[in-house]
Chains A and B, each alone.
Chain A
Amino acid sequence: MAYKSVIEILTAIKNKDVSASELTSDYLNRIKDNDDDLNCFITVTEESAMRKAKEIDDEISKGIFKPLSGLPIAQKDIFCTKGVKTSCGSKMLDNFISPYDATVIEKLNNAGTIMLGKTNMDEFAMGSSNETSFYGPVKNPWNKDYVPGGSSGGSASAVAARISPCSTGTDTGGSIRQPASLCGICGLKPTYGRVSRFGMIAFASSLDQAGLFTTDALDAAVLLKEISGHDPKDSTSSDVDVPDYYDYCINNNKSTYTIGIPDEFTKDLNDEVKKSFFDSIKVLEKIGCKIKNIKLEHTGLGVSAYQVVAPAECSSNLSRFDGVRFGHRSKKASSLEELYRESRSEGFGKEVKRRILVGTYALSAGYYDAYYLKAQKVRNLIAQDFKNAFSEVDLILGPTTPDKAFKIGEKMNDPIAMYLSDVYTVSTNLAGLPAMSIPMGFKDKLPLGLQIIGNHFDEKNILKLCHLYQRETDWHVQEPND
């Protein structure tokens, strides 16, 4: 059974070439065969997956087809799933059974997908290597000594290893695009507000956005339509119309774009990454795109501003994990103060604690103006840079990451080096823009990613350009074990 993409799977189901049960059982077997080693999954929901597959097959036999009927999918363990452990990669939630479904989960369930399990991730999505997970690091299927990136490392590695055809992720500073880049697949972070955040465990509320991993841009187009739209349960979700992305990619005549390349994204690149990137640009020029050099002058401030805003919000968002109503509760506590301090200190890992402390500092009396408020102004500065750029160009391109994947353990004790690996991705989160990473080549047999940034709510043109690029190239169909 060798279906290459979500679209092939949906077609095969529709043509009754394969049943949902057969397909699900095939993927569950692939997980069994590979995941002891890769560690992509925290929880495999075999039983409920097979039950759901049977339901879908029954529906299909009655002629009921939903948009994604029978599609197996892996869900990042940051999304609450009713009755299933939802850990967020943390000891804090090792025993947490969610009493409700996230909106993204509900929408995907209703569209007919079959959840294979919950994927590994950096603890509370704080990390760029998947090494901060309570459940151990995930491996990169291209070379198991290397990280898959993070925080959505499990979701990215699972799709790259073809043990799930697609998966969900979340992106606060690059947590979809960076692992997609390092694992050689497509990772789409939609516009802030495009997809509901309800039921997605918050890291930094004004930056977090749910998105997708697939192997093909068209697959992402099909899935995005199903998870997008206003959710009455999320005040920050937008009611901007959701187009038929797939239809736009296939049938719309638009075929050329004015593409901006910011100097700030290319000037410090190593030779291999630079070559892959400019080779990709040549491909786009060949199909008629116009290239323009632009400035995103304040890119260099992105990581610093991000490392204020994200920890500030996280320090508050993570206060609910106090051991009182759910999650880890220390057995050592004999007073309320101890209950709080011991439960939180035992439940959170080092990186999470660091960010809580930095965030608490940035919001505290005497430092608020210099850190939090100033960072919000820098955020505006960065947003203005993009606004100016989009008055001249349709899309902005650059590499997703400064380099290929790094080795497991290599940056674990150097938080600053880890933070700086997000240099090309954080600024889009600060500005709330949509962006996607697709494979553009290899360095030392490890994948490299091309990042396409669009204007607010312009996912359709990002997807279309990716589709056009993928028609000309074959990076995205290469598999780790070829």
Chain B
Amino acid sequence: MDKKTIDKLTFLSKLSIPESDIDELSKNLDNILKLIGEIDAAPTDGLAPMAHPLDFNQPLRDDVSKKNINRNENQYDQTKTKDGYYTVPKILD
């Protein structure tokens, strides 16, 4: 797997890989791609993709709102919040 592909994948997945790890990672990813590439030859003509092991329909929930929110518990880590807002470095656009 080339550096360009790895760059694209790390952009999409918001990871950064130190330059020194790229070679090892690239080698491992190649081996993994080889392993998973084995499905290519599988005789799956006419088979539907199976997204889920269970074959039943989605149960639905009644539209009842519940007031059980404890903002203090949810914001246990106060280094990430201000006045009840979560804060991040300023976003442009």
Contacts and interface: CB of A to CB of B under 8 A. Distances in A.
Given A326-B77, A348-B15, A361-B9, A336 B42 contact: no
Interface in A372-393: 373-381, 383-384
Interface string B52-93: 111010110100000000100110110110000010111100
B17 A353 contact: yes
A329 B6 contact: no
- Summarize A's interface: helix, strand, loop or mixed: helix
A303 interface: yes
A75 interface: no
Contact of A192 (B21, B38, B54, B88): B54
Contact of B88 (A206, A235, A336): A336
B43 A360 contact: no
Interface in B20-40: 21, 25, 28-29, 31-33, 35-40
User: Could you say which of B29, B50, B59, B90 has the most chain A C-beta atoms within 10 Å of its C-beta?
Assistant: B50
A445 to B, nearest CB: 32
Given A325-B80, A326-B77, A380-B49, A344 B14 contact: yes
B29 A354 contact: yes
A384 B76 CA distance: 47
A354 B31 contact: no
Given A342-B16, A345-B15, A335 B89 contact: yes
B13 A378 contact: no
A381 B43 CA distance: 8
A432 B50 CA distance: 11
Contact of B36 (A298, A362, A377): A362
Nearest to B59: A235
Chain B interface size, under 10 / 10 to 19 / 20 to 34 / 35 or more: 35 or more
Contact of B73 (A99, A192, A433): A99
Interface string B1-16: 0000110111011111
Contacts of B58: 235
A143 B38 CA distance: 36
Contacts of B16: 341-342, 345
B15 A341 contact: yes
Given A235-B58, A301-B42, A356 B13 contact: yes
A383 to B, nearest CB: 6
A60 interface: no
Nearest to A321: B14
Interface string A399-442: 00000000000000001100100000000001111000000000
Contact of B80 (A298, A326, A340, A373): A326
Given A238-B56, A307-B36, A374-B39, A97 B76 contact: yes
Interface of A: 95, 97, 99, 192-193, 206-207, 232, 235-236, 238, 298, 300-301, 303-305, 307-308, 315, 319, 322, 324-326, 329, 333-342, 344-345, 348, 350, 353-354, 356-358, 360-362, 364, 370-371, 373-381, 383-384, 415-416, 419, 430-433
30 contacts: A97-B76, A99-B70, A235-B58, A236-B54, A238-B54, A298-B42, A304-B36, A305-B39, A307-B35, A319-B14, A324-B80, A335-B89, A337-B14, A339-B88, A348-B15, A354-B29, A357-B13, A357-B15, A360-B9, A361-B5, A362-B36, A374-B39, A375-B39, A376-B51, A377-B50, A380-B44, A380-B48, A380-B49, A383-B53, A416-B32
Given A360-B12, A362-B36, A377-B44, 4 more contacts: A322-B14, A325-B74, A337-B14, A380-B50
